[in-house]
Structure 1
């Protein structure tokens, strides 16, 4: 019975998401999602709030959302504003709204994938059911009625996440095993090329700059040529379907294998990576269209996603389905999608890592000056504050929310790369402080890796894989690395060197390639260590 219910819910969700993708694209232009105007009586998330409602009588409805997210607005306008829906939620649930960008720790805890993301908890806070995407009102109402009715009689549909096979870290450093991991990723990518429609896999389509750059820079000459044969058509499709020809910049991804139904959010880190990738491919196979698109994308970044007031790159521009289908004249009379007025430490760090890899940019862009200004903005926080923070709110001029392992790891690798590239002493100062904080706050002496206190390294292995990889890279690039640092590097590389079984599982499924960034960070650290 449980399996039947689960299959029914999953089938319902995917049918609705597929239908929404096409109907909403052409017939709706919803305003920005403001949950304080919602009919649902949402409580703003905090760790204390969850403790307050521990072991109550009602199930919990957790909604993960984001300011830039188009489908979050659709969920509000087409589902949560329906009287039957909000009345039922308000009567039978504790409703908690979570900004996924601000509260990324709990987002990671529930292994959320995308936004909007819905989690239903039993009153004891065990997971009842969770899913990504949008359901229309009638189907959503059927789901929440089922949740409430089952919880009322002590039934749980979903339970905790399926347990993965326990990870056993190797006791010895094994170079051959690491070489085989690189080859596994290389071959796995080549086995999963969509030669009919271009790109990777049979599902959603986007470009993965970090993966593509890694393969082009670390493969044999023969393999590099093979990778160019699929990367070039994928870039052509991305320019055709995911690129804004009027204002520049790439959208986040396309819903379908055929690169149709774009999600119109524009992310700074993705666009910075696209510039770096287009440049790299153009150097290997000169293509005027790629050179032009790289320049226009960079122009978009410095014009739209850079705050002249603060001298720092921002992270997101909102999606607006209606706006991006207008011609130039129509856009001139419409409202430009908003740029989110918050600076997220992790997102800015990823953006700067990609921007620092860009070469040969005309001086008119003043790119180095903008990168340096952004680095100084972060360095000021790292050096002056007693702790690192997750985001800066431009509305009040304050750093807010203590940063987690992801913020710390990305800051560390950014300042390691910045110190090497720009030779600024205060970047080394920032790096030294970050390494000190990592050792004091996050180092697990038993496992000999760094861990996030809110997560279990064994349960969230791939997250810790990436974050430890960034920290290992920051130690590798540190010109003042100590013997203790060298031991940390080798311990990190050793600990995760048996991760190939998890990678094989991803390559077998191959629908979603976002996992690849975590493995690429680790393999990049290994390649850097090998070349020393």
Structure 2
């Protein structure tokens, strides 16, 4: 793997680990220098979007970008810019042509001329010639058309927008329609895990106990766990299956995918006492902690490369063979998501070490990746400094993980940080028309980065966390902000079908009276821990303890000594032993001093079956 500096480069570039000449192209980093050069030399920009884990990106390095004629044509006639998708998801979101690698041709100002994905060497040279001719023949016309186009105007919530159960039903219908009853999962080939859709199915099943939803979940989770998508030697899931049957994977292993898959599998295994999936979670977690977790930094790496030869070997043969390259770069969104998932995995595996490591990862993100005001940077390379500040994906992932951490451990700093982060997100990323931008607005943004974007998935996830945080901090303003954000997409979510699953989850929470357990700690820490475990396990997960468990229930812990003012402001007593209050909406059950009393109080409040003593 080459890490090079060159003309116009402000960061290292990653090329295929196999022999290639791609480094002979005079690559530039995305930045003002590259755009200024394109303007000064009157040349189009060749934008290459790649990723360190991307197989076909490596192939293009080894073939197309290693062809002498292509190297010469690019260096002579274009300003080549190379962007790592994982480092700059905001650039990728605006220029990706349908996959990686993306090969895009831009005007010197960053407007798209044309583009595609992988280009084999025999097609690249004539493509370069055609684009160059088009640019010189039509650039004046293109500039006139661009100048005449009106600026993008963001709209507010559509007239008559409302949140209702029909939204959840329509997205569930889209998920069901895409579901593959023969092999599980969604679609045919290629087949991706689609963990957001799985989480929607799981949450809806936990709320309704509808048998067909459990069938869909088990078929999907077992299909991914028992066939080629899962690494049966070292553990962990590969990125996707090239076939419908989950037998032939694309061999990258991604921290992003493991965050979603560990969360869903662990939640389902806890809810059903599924031993088989528990074993898969244990194996995948072992791979994660031994391969992507960095004990020295406390953070997780991004991915492990695809290598179909390596993954065909037995365990003994792998031990004698160099493992595929691991990207040690830490990404805030993925590390936060993995930490959040570990709070589901730890109680399933009864492994307190995982909880401690998840807390440490969140502490490190807060201490090393925070800009000093409350917003996070996106990427941290080994030995480097944090880069790319203020992407919504990072803030959203960390906010959810902080709430998960507080629910699981009662650590006060996690809830305090969540509230601080939420306030900063609202202050800096909120759009006047509603919703939240995907990146901090800035004067002089390059190319299409100047075009504001409010992505549905990140906005929905953020709205969900704002609703949670509102209930945990007694702040109705956060709930109002979350509801306003959801209304913004009330007439557009159907366009993306099953991919609107995060939106349906957030709408589900918005339509459900907030369910919370508030634990007031006393001098007996063990009692508080027992109550928290009961809230997290009996009420949220276990189908056998309370018939209608609530996966949307949240848990907060208040220290009667250190947080006396907040305890009393919330209407609770600050004296006495540890006690838990379970509330649904504005109705609260009698205070509970034991785990059994808590589950009984919940059952009485919700009309669920009473737990067995």
After alignment, is 274-283 or 86-95 more displaced? Answer: 274-283
* Aligned residue number for residue 414 of structure 2: 427
* Aligned residue number for residue 474 of structure 1: 466
Q: Within 2, Cα distance between the matches of 1:96 and 1:458?
A: 20
Q: Within 2, Cα distance between the matches of 1:395 and 1:381?
A: 12
Q: Within 2, Cα distance between the matches of 1:524 and 1:381?
A: 35
1:126 aligns with 2:126: no
Q: Within 2, Cα distance between the matches of 1:529 and 1:285?
A: 25
CA contact (8 A) 1:449 1:468 kept: no
Q: 1:336 aligns with which of 305, 317, 323?
A: 323
CA contact (8 A) 2:155 2:433 kept: no
* Aligned residue number for residue 355 of structure 1: 342
1:215 aligns with 2:205: no
Going from structure 1 to structure 2, the CA distance change for 1:52 and 1:83 (only over 3 Å counts) comes to: closer
Cα shift at 1:184: 0.6
Q: Deviations over 1:419-457 (max 9, x none)?
A: 33322232233223312322331222x313322326799
* Aligned residue number for residue 225 of structure 1: 211
Q: Within 2, Cα distance between the matches of 1:406 and 1:44?
A: 22
Going from structure 1 to structure 2, the CA distance change for 1:119 and 1:253 (only over 3 Å counts) comes to: same
Local SS of the residue matching 2:347: coil
Q: Deviations over 1:362-397 (max 9, x none)?
A: 34572111111111112223667345211222223x
Local SS of the residue matching 1:120: strand
User: Where does structure 2 lack aligned partners over 5 or more consecutive residues?
Assistant: 1-14, 516-584, 586-613
* Aligned residue number for residue 137 of structure 1: 121
* Aligned residue number for residue 135 of structure 2: 151
Q: What do you get for the CA RMSD once the two structures are aligned? A: 3.4
Cα shift at 1:100: 1.4
* Aligned residue number for residue 383 of structure 2: 395
Cα shift at 1:196: 4.0
CA contact (8 A) 1:323 1:336 kept: yes
Q: Deviations over 1:391-414 (max 9, x none)?
A: 222223x32232322222222222
Q: Within 1, Cα distance between the matches of 2:330 and 2:501?
A: 22
Q: Within 2, Cα distance between the matches of 1:482 and 1:35?
A: 57
Q: Within 2, Cα distance between the matches of 1:44 and 1:449?
A: 30
1:38 aligns with 2:26: no
Q: 2:252 aligns with which of 248, 259, 265?
A: 265
Q: Within 2, Cα distance between the matches of 1:136 and 1:111?
A: 18
Cα shift at 1:166: 8.9
CA contact (8 A) 1:390 1:401 kept: yes
CA contact (8 A) 2:266 2:344 kept: no
1:326 aligns with 2:326: no
Length-normalised TM-score, structure 2: 0.71
1:191 aligns with 2:177: yes
* Aligned residue number for residue 526 of structure 1: 510
Q: Within 2, Cα distance between the matches of 1:47 and 1:261?
A: 43
Local SS of the residue matching 2:427: helix
* Aligned residue number for residue 73 of structure 1: 58
Local SS of the residue matching 1:357: helix
Cα shift at 1:234: 2.8
Q: Within 2, Cα distance between the matches of 1:310 and 1:468?
A: 31
1:254 aligns with 2:228: no
Bigger Rg, which one: 2
Local SS of the residue matching 1:401: strand
Alignment of 1:296-307 (within 5 A): 296-307=283-294
Q: Within 1, Cα distance between the matches of 2:49 and 2:509?
A: 32
After alignment, is 301-310 or 226-235 more displaced? Answer: 226-235
Alignment of 1:362-511 (within 5 A): 362-364=349-351, 366-381=353-368, 385-386=372-373, 387-396=375-384, 398-444=385-431, 446-451=432-437, 452=439, 453=441, 460-461=453-454, 463-467=455-459, 469-478=461-470, 479-500=472-493, 503=494, 505-507=495-497
Cα shift at 1:219: 4.6
* Aligned residue number for residue 78 of structure 2: 93
* Aligned residue number for residue 607 of structure 2: none
CA contact (8 A) 2:16 2:61 kept: no
1:58 aligns with 2:71: no
Cα shift at 1:36: 8.8
Q: 1:290 aligns with which of 253, 274, 277?
A: 277
Local SS of the residue matching 1:309: coil
* Aligned residue number for residue 237 of structure 1: 223
CA contact (8 A) 2:328 2:381 kept: yes
Going from structure 1 to structure 2, the CA distance change for 1:465 and 1:526 (only over 3 Å counts) comes to: farther
Higher relative contact order (CA 8 A, sep 6+): 1
Cα shift at 1:524: 5.4
Q: Within 2, Cα distance between the matches of 1:55 and 1:229?
A: 61
Q: Within 1, Cα distance between the matches of 2:475 and 2:208?
A: 38
Q: Deviations over 1:44-94 (max 9, x none)?
A: 222443244237522211011122222211110021101122122222211
Going from structure 1 to structure 2, the CA distance change for 1:458 and 1:109 (only over 3 Å counts) comes to: closer
Q: Within 1, Cα distance between the matches of 2:476 and 2:115?
A: 46
Going from structure 1 to structure 2, the CA distance change for 1:236 and 1:431 (only over 3 Å counts) comes to: closer
Cα shift at 1:458: 9.2
Q: Within 1, Cα distance between the matches of 2:451 and 2:368?
A: 31
CA contact (8 A) 2:250 2:306 kept: yes
Q: Within 2, Cα distance between the matches of 1:414 and 1:199?
A: 26
Q: Within 2, Cα distance between the matches of 1:270 and 1:472?
A: 20
Local SS of the residue matching 2:348: coil
Going from structure 1 to structure 2, the CA distance change for 1:370 and 1:230 (only over 3 Å counts) comes to: same
Q: Deviations over 1:228-281 (max 9, x none)?
A: 333333333323011111110100012233435422111123223223333344
Cα shift at 1:128: 1.4
Length-normalised TM-score, structure 1: 0.81
Q: Within 1, Cα distance between the matches of 2:479 and 2:275?
A: 44
CA contact (8 A) 2:304 2:324 kept: yes
Q: Within 1, Cα distance between the matches of 2:339 and 2:281?
A: 16
Cα shift at 1:356: 2.3
Q: 2:162 aligns with which of 146, 151, 174?
A: 174
Cα shift at 1:471: 4.6
Local SS of the residue matching 1:125: coil
Local SS of the residue matching 1:53: helix
How many residue pairs get aligned? The number is: 486
CA contact (8 A) 1:54 1:125 kept: no
Local SS of the residue matching 1:42: coil
